[in-house]
Amino acid sequence: MSGFKKFLVQGNVIDLAVAVVIGAAFGAIVTSFVADLLTPLISAFGGLPDFSSLTLTVGEARFKYGNFLNTLVSFLMIAAVMYFLVIRPYTRYKEAREGREEVTHRECPACLSEIPRAASRCSHCCVEVVPV
């Protein structure tokens, strides 16, 4: 029983639980954004984008492919929102942040080992180098 308690108290389980809860809440926000803002905006320009009434009847079987089309359009809009409003800005932020990191080391021109930028002599091969 003590091993199970340790497992539950570990940071991984708690982090995962928090991630699932936040992910579900964020998913609800994105779904609401698409359903309440984007879909009415699209319907204002192109008519109501509701395909649920589209069906195909073959013999006794009735295929409701309109519901599938609604789900597919919703998925594509959610994916576009996630890409343009979350993934793309976050990627740009990370790239900008990585570009700001100060370079503290450089390569020795003789032995190609890593030396501090301000060094005047390589600590590996003792070649004199010009400090940067």
110 and 68 part of one domain: no
Average pLDDT over residues 68-75: 85
Q: What are the DSSP calls for 4-33, one per residue?
A: HHHHHHSHHHHHHHHHHHHHHHHHHHHHHH
24 and 87 part of one domain: yes
**Where does the pLDDT of residue 25 fall: very low under 50, low under 70, confident under 90, or very high at 90 and above?**
very high
Average pLDDT over residues 59-79: 88
71 and 111 part of one domain: no
- Domain count across the chain: 2
68 and 121 part of one domain: no
CA 17 – CA 27 distance, rounded (Å): 15
**Where does the pLDDT of residue 101 fall: very low under 50, low under 70, confident under 90, or very high at 90 and above?**
low
